[in-house]
Amino acid sequence: MTTPPPRPRPPPVPRRAPAPEWGDDGRWNPWAALRARPHVQLRLDPEAALLGGAMLVQGPGLTVVVLDPALDRRSRRVALAHELVHEERGGGCDAPGLPLALDVMVARDEAEVVREVARRLVPPAALRHLLEQRDELGLHVEPWEVADAFDVDDLTARAALADLAGP
Ligand SMILES: [Zn+2]
C-alpha cells in the first residue's frame, strides 16, 4: 500500500495591500486615514442626522466618529474626512446652542475644516489641471462635474473651486 503523494497546495492568495492614505495625484483617502488611527472608532447611528449627518465624540483615550447610516457613499466619505480633520485639529464641536462668542469661533473653525477637506479631497493641482483641460476645449466646469471627478459632495466641490479662485 502506498500513500498518495501530498497534494500540491494552492498558491496563497495575495492580500490586497491597503490603499495608501495619500494617492499619487495628491488625493487624501479618509478611509485609509481612519485605518491609520487606531484610537478612532467609527459608528453608524441615525442620531448623527441631528448634527447634519456626522459628529465627533471625544473622551479620554477614545474618539468616535459617528455617521448617519442614511448618508450616501459619497457624503459618508466627505463626512468622515470632515470629522477626521476636526480630530487632528484637536476636536471641534458642531453642537448647537453654544454661547454667541463661541458660536463665532466654531463657525470660523468650521469654515477652515471645510476648506481643508476640500484641499485634501480635491487637490488644487489636480483641480487646476481639470479646469485647464476643459478651458482648452472652451468648456466651463460646473461644480457637479468637480464633485463627480473627485468623488465629493457639491459643498466640497464648491469650496474647492472657491479656494482655487482665491479670496
Ligand atoms: Zn464640523
Cell of 126: 489636480
**For residue 55, how far is its CA from the centre of ligand 1 (angstroms)?**
8
**For residue 73, how far is its CA from the centre of ligand 1 (angstroms)?**
18
Query: Which residue ranges make up each domain of the chain?
Result: 30-165
pLDDT per residue over 83-93, tens digit each?
999 999 986 55
Residue 126 to residues 13, 24, 105, 122, 164, Cα–Cα distance (Å): 35, 11, 31, 7, 11
The reported pLDDT for the residue numbered 32 is 96
**For residue 18, how far is its CA from the centre of ligand 1 (angstroms)?**
27
Per-residue pLDDT of the chain (167 residues; tens, 9 = 90+): 567 777 778 777 777 777 899 998 899 999 999 999 999 999 999 999 998 899 999 888 789 999 999 999 999 999 999 999 999 998 655 554 555 666 777 888 899 999 999 999 999 999 999 999 999 999 999 999 999 999 999 999 999 999 998 87
Q: What angle do CA 86, 99, 61 make, to 5 degrees?
A: 35
The span from the CA of 163 to the CA of 79, in Å, is 19
**For residue 31, how far is its CA from the centre of ligand 1 (angstroms)?**
18
